[in-house]
Structure 1
Amino acid sequence: MTAVRPQPPTPAVTVVGIGADGWDGLSDASRAALRDAEVLIGARRQLDLLPAPCAGERVTWPTPLRPAVPALLAAHAGRRIAVLASGDPMFYGIGRALAEETGGAGGLRVLPHPSSVSWATARLGWPLEDVEVVTLVGRPTARLAAALHEGRRLLVLSADAGTPAAVAELLRDRGFGPSRMRVLEQLGGPKEHMGAETTADEWPERADGDPLNLVAVECHRAPHALRLGAVPGLPDEAYEHDGQLTKRHIRAATLGALAPAPGETLWDVGGGSGSIAIEWMRTHPSCHAYTVERDPVRAARIARNADRLGVPGLVVVTGRAPAALFELPLPDAVFVGGGLTAPGLLDACWQALPTGGRLVANTVTLESEALLADAHRRHGGELVRLAVAHAVPVGGFIGWRQAMPVTQWAVRKTLDTPAGVDT
């Protein structure tokens, strides 16, 4: 006799992806889940797409949405809950928040629908793997700037009808006015519309389109625009600064020593112009950084640089280290670019690092260099001197002008590394 394998219990929460085609576009499984639900949660627009046989109690999401998720689930605990989501719930959708609250696959059933990105690439004939997706739903438009590179194709998920004009304005401001743009509305539904293609320079300043849209962009840089690469070592001209700037070649070497990886967090102590933290965050969208700067004028300048270079999520802390460090989330790496002689600073940074964390410190003064030499003697790592010279006119000839050499200590904290730094 063949044993019957017991079926796992059906999760209490089912999230159903729905598109602009509404009920007609749903699978049989999605329709069954919605008819069977005792509670239906979604945006009013989505709930209005459901027919009368979906008789569960209808609950609209409050604003802001994310903080409301735990309370809503708790309020309807013990009932069969179906949550409506736009397109694929696990692609920049509510599915992520629900998975975090329910514990993932064991507590959540996900029934996806084609996302707006899938519909858009199908309509445009763009291979999905060659397209970068940037969402501006609940996020600042400035984050789009980090994705701007000549020839790249972008799909921008819009927050509302005003997003296309905001995208065009940013493209013009960042030197990408010749980029080609097209708005796609109500994808997959009976009111689907694909607008005419034009450039960001020619884009009309209006917001009279459909709020359910995304923007397709083919990036083209204006001839005069500064070229920004995808690796650390951006041109110094990319930054607003007052002279407190880790220069391009030293910056590239410093980021190489810090070795950012996706999802990691940096402390940038003595932010100056914010260049190290900014280029750390530009290496991957999931990287985080906190920069500590005691001068409020410089702190405001760091925020402007971060916004312009596409990482508006950089957290700028105005205060003195080490006191300003104690409330920050623990780092994966620390860069000290200023204030090394402050009592307890190097020790506080070292103590905060987990095993495997990295610390990199730069200095040009003899006093701070002595501290780094002592730390190197105690804890190992690599102590190097970085020197850069630039060719400049000397009368009618060309000669070398030496910049101040930078002493750099770079170290990785290991299990056998002593816990403290005696400063």
Structure 2
Amino acid sequence: MDSVNADGTPAPWLAVVGLGDDGPAGLAPRARSLVEEAGTVFGGERHLGLLPEQSGQERIPWPSPLTEALPWIEARRGRPVCVLASGDPFWYGIGATLARHLPAAEMEVVPAPSAFSLAAARLGWPLQETRCLSLHGRALERIHPWLQEGARLLVLSWDGTTPAALAQRLTERGFGGSRLTVLEHLGGTAEDRRTTRAADWSEPETAALNTVAVECRAEPGARIIPRSPGRPESAFHHDGNITKREVRAVALARLAPESGERLWDLGAGSGAVGVEWMLTDPANHAVAVEHRTDRLENIAANAREFGVPDLECIQGRAPDALAGLPDPDAIFIGGGLTSPGLLERCHAALPTGGRLVATSVTVEGDAALAAAADRYGGELSRLAVERAEPLGGFTGWAPLRPVTLWSLVAE
């Protein structure tokens, strides 16, 4: 591999080669030559162990954490280096990490079939109709939003205990009748599979290298997370301090989340707005700021229940607690409106096109929102909701507290 192309741009010096469980025998000729020509090969112990001995070639197993190897790789820039990856390096693989640090033009990538592709081929599942997830180094709760009647899931396991943990979680959430297929050592000589209902799974551990396929079947009363905002209050842990579902649905519509955006949920209470923000897209982030410890515990419990365990909780009061936080794309203020400097701080934090939504149920809060609208513009709305409740032997309308809502798109 030359260090510079004819046009003067850096030539690829880093080869990223996908390796299956069949080892070098499954490599295409180009991939094989990249491995053999490399002066240094990085990879997991298992992958390095599959390669035949090669005199003079430096082989370095991944450290923990893996990111510690990045300076070692970059120190060899311009010399032929190879990184071994599992299957497709850019599907829950090392490729994404490398691409954040090195230009794509300096890498030559030769993928192998991913575990998802191999599993779909074995089962006859169209990948475009299948949800592909990873629990490798990720919380089991992440699977909760995808448990829907009839859904097909392919899940990369963390280790041999994942199938049993997943079967138990499916059963606990009312999906015990789901068909569970564990595929071990896909593409290798030890490939094997076993299939049963989640509720009937009895093996505490399988081969460490496995992928789990789930055909979801919901039982009556299964805990299914609806796909749209405005989930019922009863689905959340809360002490009564929660944005009501009707108001929450309107607030989320005004917040208008886009993929990869960050929300500040201030005076978060139950964290319901932050949770629903994160559920709109797996790439979204949220920070819930709340000063009460018991409410922070509710927020964390809700984040786990709804499958967004990465929701960040900050104990404190805004605006002081906002110091040092990454800038938001949107802000929801559910409490603390009358705190000195809060609205000014939030307005200043918004980028162009950023959205701010604040709600109030008090005269003092309404006054603060009216003053903010007069100063910054935006839109004031008044939401009045009534719910039907038993009234003697009949049914009557019970009004909730009217909510004043101020929304703004920063210019």
TM-score range, shorter chain: over 0.9
1:10 is aligned with what amino acid?
A: A
1:225 is displaced (CA, Å) by 2.4
Counterparts of 1:246-325 in structure 2, within 5 Å, are 246-325=243-322
Provide the rounded CA distance (Å) in 2 between the counterparts of 1:250 and 1:175.
Answer: 29
Q: Does 1:146 align with 2:145?
A: yes
- C-alpha displacement at 1:87, in angstroms? 0.1
For 1:119, the aligned partner's letter is L
1:226·1:238 contact (CA, 8 Å) conserved in 2?
A: no
Q: Specify the alignment match of 1:421 in structure 2.
A: none
- The equivalent residue for 1:62 is 63
Percent identity of the aligned residues?
50
Aligned to 2:201: 203
Q: Which amino acid aligns with 2:95?
A: G
Matches within 5 A, 1:166-245: 166-195=165-194, 197-204=195-202, 206-207=204-205, 209-245=206-242
Structure 1 distance, partners of 2:8, 2:121, is: 37
Q: CA deviation at 1:53?
A: 4.0
Residue 62 of structure 1 and its aligned partner are, at CA, apart by 0.6
SS of the equivalent of 1:176 reads coil
Structure 2 residue ranges without an equivalent (≥5): none
Q: CA deviation at 1:234?
A: 1.2
Alpha-carbon distance between aligned partners in 2 of 1:70 and 1:18, rounded to the nearest angstrom: 20
Structure 1: distance between partners of 2:18 and 2:101: 18
Letter in 1 for 2:199: D
Offset from partner CA, 1:319-350 (integer Å, 9 cap, x none): 11111111110000000000001111111111
Inter-partner Cα distance in structure 2 for 1:124 and 1:74:
40
Give the distance between the partners of 1:302 and 1:406, measured in 2 at CA.
Answer: 22
Q: Deviations 1:136-188 (Å, cap 9, x if unpaired)?
A: 11111111112111111011111110111111122122222222111011111
**Structure 1 unmatched runs, 5+:** 415-423
Q: After TM superposition, give the deviation of residue 198 of structure 1 in Å.
A: 1.6
2:43 alignment partner in structure 1 = 42
Contact 1:228 1:235 in 2 (8 A): no
Query: How big is each residue's C-alpha offset from its partner over 1:73-98, in whole Å with a ceiling of 9 and x where there is no partner?
Result: 14434431100000000111001111
Distance in 2 between the 1:320 and 1:131 partners?
A: 43
Q: SS state of the match for residue 276, structure 1?
A: helix
Amino acid at match of 1:186: H
Q: In terms of mean alpha carbon deviation, does 168-177 or 44-53 score higher?
A: 168-177
Q: Distance in 1 between matches of 2:71 and 2:247?
A: 49
Q: What one-letter code is carried by the residue in structure 2 that aligns with 1:109?
A: E
Distance (Å, rounded) in 2 between the aligned partners of 1:367 and 1:6: 67
CA gap of 1:168–1:229, structure 2 versus 1, over 3 A, is same
Deviations 1:20-40 (A, max 9, x none): 111110000000000100000
Helix, strand or coil for the counterpart of 1:201? helix
Tell me the distance in 2 between the aligned counterparts of 1:357 and 1:280: 14
C-alpha offsets along residues 24-75 of structure 1, whole Å, 9 cap, x if unaligned?
1000000000010000000010011112347520100011113x13222144
Q: In the alignment, what sits opposite 2:398?
A: 401
Q: Structure 1 counterpart of 2:63, which letter?
A: P
Structure 2 residue aligned with 1:358: 355
Q: CA RMSD in A?
A: 1.6
TM-score by length of 2: 0.96
Say whether the 8 Å CA contact 1:69–1:97 is kept in structure 2.
no
SS at match of 2:313: strand
Aligned-partner residue type, residue 29 of structure 2: D
Pairwise CA distance, 1:9 = 5.0
Instruction: Return the alpha-carbon distance in structure 2 between the equivalents of residues 366 and 285 of structure 1.
Output: 37
> Do 1:392 and 1:399's aligned partners in 2 also have CA atoms closer than 8 Å?
yes
Give the Cα–Cα distance (whole angstroms) in 1 for the partners of residues 168 and 301 of structure 2: 17
Change (3 A) 1:9 1:340: closer
1:95-114 alignment, distance < 5 Å: 95-103=95-103, 105-114=104-113
Farther-moved stretch of structure 1 (344-353 vs 76-85): 76-85
Going from structure 1 to structure 2, the CA distance change for 1:179 and 1:408 (only over 3 Å counts) comes to same
CA contact (8 A) 1:69 1:98 kept: no
Q: Is the 8 A contact 1:36 1:54 kept in 2?
A: no
Deviations 1:376-398, CA, capped at 9 Å, x for gaps: 12222211111111111111111
